[in-house]
């Protein structure tokens, strides 16, 4: 009788172990990652036009928000005209948005906004 009881426990233990193993394998294969292509989400950006005198392009208060459709014509290689800014670095101000920090510019006579600086994604210039 003792032997029979031991064999019954052994059988039940084997059955529980087998079911647990099947459950683990089922969960492993059920949550296989999909092969669908991933899409890269571009962060929102804002465009600003420079409204101040040459040489003060770093002053954030001299840049005003413009829509991408209303960007001014800018020709040249010197002095800031428009910049594209990661929206993370802007904040709402009434019905518009403003820059949170001053614009990083080059040193020298002409103050060109530095593209690829923390906030600036793109720039156009004026005054050849």
Task: Quote the CA–CA distance of 57 and 103 in Å, as a whole number.
Answer: 7
Question: pLDDT by residue (tens digit) across 30-80?
Answer: 766 666 666 655 678 899 988 888 888 899 999 999 988 887 788 777 778
Per-residue confidence (pLDDT) for residue 20, from 0 to 100? 80
* pTM for the structure as a whole: 0.63
Let me know if residue 40 belongs to a domain. Answer: no
Let me know if residue 39 belongs to a domain. Answer: no
Domain hosting residue 19, numbered range: 1-34
Same domain as 122, residue 70? yes
Let me know if residue 74 belongs to a domain. Answer: yes
pLDDT of residue 28 exceeding 80, the answer is no
Evaluate whether 68 touches 85 at the Cβ level (below 8 Å): no
47 strand-pairing partners: 66, 84
Per-residue confidence (pLDDT) for residue 5, from 0 to 100? 58
């Amino acid at each position: 009788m003792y032997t029979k009881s031991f064999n019954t426990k052994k059988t039940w233990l084997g059955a529980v172990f087998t079911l647990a193993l099947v459950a683990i394998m089922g969960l492993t294969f059920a949550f296989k990652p999909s092969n669908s292509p991933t899409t890269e989400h571009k962060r929102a950006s804002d465009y600003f036009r420079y409204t101040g005198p040459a040489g003060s392009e770093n002053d954030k208060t001299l840049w005003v928000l413009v829509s991408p459709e209303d960007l001014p014509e800018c020709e040249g290689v010197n002095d800031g005209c428009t910049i594209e800014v990661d929206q993370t670095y802007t904040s709402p101000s009434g019905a518009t948005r403003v820059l949170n920090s001053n614009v990083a510019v080059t040193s020298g006579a002409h103050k060109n906004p530095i593209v690829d600086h923390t906030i600036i994604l793109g720039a156009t210039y004026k005054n050849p």
